[in-house]
Structure 1
Amino acid sequence: MAKGYWVSAYRTIVHPEKLAAYNELAAPAVAAGGGRLLAIDSRVVAHDAGIAERTILIEFDSFEQAVAAHASDAYQKALAALADGVERDFRIVEGLDD
């Protein structure tokens, strides 16, 4: 079964306090959904139209699990706390079959 990934690239952080509140809620929500943090604030080399900003990579055992974790009540509360605190590009991506 193909794994699922959350890929989040932050373009700007407008309200750091909202990001901090989101982080407090999102970490346990992601863990409860089966997510494993692979990269956060790692070194980034941007190419083409990319921006070398905060980048997050989270792995799930399946694409469906990744989608369900995003839809969970706990993660939706984290998103509400984040609100307009950042501008980011967030994607859920299906990996290749093992």
Structure 2
Amino acid sequence: MPKAYWVSVYRTVSDPEKLAAYGKLARLAVQPWGGRTFVRGGRVVAYDAGIAERTVLVEFDSFEQAVAARESAAYQEALAVLADGAERDFRIVEGLD
């Protein structure tokens, strides 16, 4: 079964405190679904039309787990805390088999 990934690229962060609070809750929200964070911030070099901003990559054992984590009540709580604190491009992608 192919793994799945949350890929999130932040276009802007307007409220670092909201982002920090979201980060704590989001980490707790993905753990029950087997989410493992491989990238959270750090150095970025963007090419083509890429965005050289904060990037987060979380791996799950299946696409279904990744979607369930995103739709969970715990993650919805984290999103409510983030609110307008950041603008980001978030997607769930399935890995290769």
TM-score range relative to shorter protein: over 0.9
SS of equivalent to 1:43: coil
Q: Give the corresponding residue for 1:64.
A: 64
After TM superposition, list the pairs within 5 Å mapping 1:47-86 onto structure 2.
47-86=47-86
CA shift for structure 1 position 20? 1.2
List gaps (5 residues or longer) in structure 2.
none
Q: Give the corresponding residue for 2:43.
A: 43
Identical counterparts, % of pairs: 71
Q: Give the corresponding residue for 1:27.
A: 27
After TM superposition, the runs of 4+ consecutive aligned structure 1 residues lying more than 6 A away are none
List gaps (5 residues or longer) in structure 1.
none
| TM-score normalised by the chain length of structure 1 | 0.95
Please give the per-residue CA displacement for 1:31-60, whole angstroms capped at 9, x wherever unaligned. 122100111113211011112111000000
Cα distance in 2 between the residues matched to 1:12 and 1:65: 28
SS of equivalent to 1:77: helix
Cα distance in 2 between the residues matched to 1:23 and 1:71: 16
